[in-house]
């Protein structure tokens, strides 16, 4: 059986992390009305705004998440360019939606700390 992690260890990578609640209960902002959104994009919007990371986002993140959603739509419909893919990955990281982003922001999921 593996040894349990000790977040209080001086060498712990979990020490001082911002623990994100699994269920933050915050409302999902409305999608910007700048264009029509596909059903897949609407579902992804809901998923991102209900994920633990979004507990650290506020209304000022709406445009950034919407831009990422636009890239997501292009990826889904096959029209994404290399630049779209690069921007999508960078936005996902900066919003803490990737493992690297979580690490850079000092975030951990509740139960992982």
pLDDT for 76-105, tens place per residue? Answer: 999 999 999 999 999 999 999 999 999 999
Nearest of 13, 24, 28, 27 to residue 108 by alpha carbon: 13
What mean pLDDT, rounded, does the chain reach? 89
Domain ranges (residues) in the chain: 42-109
Whole-structure pTM value: 0.82
* DSSP H helical ranges for the chain: 39-50, 62-77, 82-94, 99-105
What was the pLDDT predicted at 83?
97
């Amino acid at each position: 059986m593996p040894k349990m992690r000790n977040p209080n260890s001086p060498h712990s990578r979990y020490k001082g992390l911002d623990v994100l609640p699994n269920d933050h209960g915050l409302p999902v902002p409305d999608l910007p009305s700048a264009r029509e959104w596909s059903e897949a994009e609407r579902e992804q919007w809901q998923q991102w705004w209900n994920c633990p990371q979004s507990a650290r986002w506020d209304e000022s993140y709406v445009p950034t998440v919407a831009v990422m959603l636009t890239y997501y739509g292009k990826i889904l419909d096959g029209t994404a360019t290399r630049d779209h893919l690069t921007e999508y990955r960078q936005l996902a990281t900066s919003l803490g939606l990737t493992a690297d982003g979580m690490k850079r922001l000092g975030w951990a999921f509740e139960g992982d700390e």
